[in-house]
Chains A and B, each alone.
Chain A
Amino acid sequence: DTGVSQDPRHKITKRGQNVTFRCDPISEHNRLYWYRQTLGQGPEFLTYFQNEAQLEKSRLLSDRFSAERPKGSFSTLEIQRTEQGDSAMYLCASSQRQGYLETQYFGPGTRLLVL
């Protein structure tokens, strides 16, 4: 197992365009998380899935953002009509809950720059 992977690693787009990012979690993990990290800050929670169900969404996740995990494996995060304020690192993490214990493992992130 090679860990959590994300694609692309970098994306440059023009304001108003749509972008989609992909995350492949560790294969046996049933939970998948998306975070946003801006420069000089820690990651901020966006949303998470347990299997294919999206169980929680942050207020940071505006209606321009949508996430899916159709078969409970990989996930996509789409941003429509991008704005310059969307420029950030988008991180994906996965975990497998064992009782009340859980450790999230992060992917390398997708760095988005909106011009």
Chain B
Amino acid sequence: GNSVTQMEGPVTLSEEAFLTINCTYTATGYPSLFWYVQYPGEGLQLLLKATKADDKGSNKGFEATYRKETTSFHLEKGSVQVSDSAVYFCALSANNNDMRFGAGTRLTVKP
């Protein structure tokens, strides 16, 4: 079945460090891929998405490229801020009615 595997956390970085959170997927067909962010006590917010191979999603300095050949959608940011501290979820939607999420990666950015 469809599934998402993402890098286990927690991840702790200093402010202005480079961030990578790995995400790989297994799916039939051509899924859409997403990164969601969850701040403490809140629901999920869409961070970025990509709907076909080689698409790059970007938002708020975060980027992720849909790599069909490696079935990956790694999240990157060149310079993290304390305000980026949150839990990040990679997700896929392959048939538009059953979104599958990874287990989440907790990021803590220290000043």
Give me the interface of A with B, judged by CB distance under 8 Å.
Answer: 4, 6, 31, 33, 40-45, 48, 55-56, 91, 93, 97, 100-109
The answer on a CB contact under 8 Å between A41 and B43 is no
The answer on a CB contact under 8 Å between A107 and B43 is yes
How many residues of B sit at the interface, in one of the four size bands? 20 to 34
Give me the interface of B with A, judged by CB distance under 8 Å.
Answer: 4, 32, 34, 36, 42-46, 49, 51, 89, 91, 93, 96-104
Q: Which residues of A contact B36 (CB under 8 A)?
A: 106
The answer on a CB contact under 8 Å between A55 and B97 is yes
Q: Which residues of A contact B99 (CB under 8 A)?
A: 33, 43, 45, 104
Q: Which residues of B contact A55 (CB under 8 A)?
A: 97
Measured in the bound complex, the distance between the Cα atoms of B101 and A45 in whole Å is: 9
The answer on a CB contact under 8 Å between B43 and A106 is yes
The answer on a CB contact under 8 Å between B32 and A108 is no
A to B CB contacts below 8 Å, 13 in the list: A6-B43, A40-B103, A41-B104, A42-B4, A42-B102, A42-B103, A55-B97, A97-B96, A100-B96, A101-B32, A102-B32, A103-B32, A106-B43
Best-surrounded residue of A4, A56, A101 (most CB of chain B within 10 A): A101
Q: Which residues of B contact A91 (CB under 8 A)?
A: 43-44
Distance in Å: Cβ of A109 to nearest Cβ of chain B: 4
The answer on a CB contact under 8 Å between A45 and B43 is no
Measured in the bound complex, the distance between the Cα atoms of B34 and A101 in whole Å is: 12
Given A97-B96, A100-B96, A101-B32, decide whether A42 and B101 contact each other with a Cβ distance below 8 A: yes
Q: Which residues of B contact A107 (CB under 8 A)?
A: 43
Given A91-B43, A103-B49, A107-B43, decide whether A40 and B104 contact each other with a Cβ distance below 8 A: yes
Distance in Å: Cβ of B46 to nearest Cβ of chain A: 6
The answer on a CB contact under 8 Å between A108 and B42 is yes
Measured in the bound complex, the distance between the Cα atoms of B51 and A41 in whole Å is: 24
Measured in the bound complex, the distance between the Cα atoms of B104 and A102 in whole Å is: 21
The answer on a CB contact under 8 Å between A102 and B93 is yes
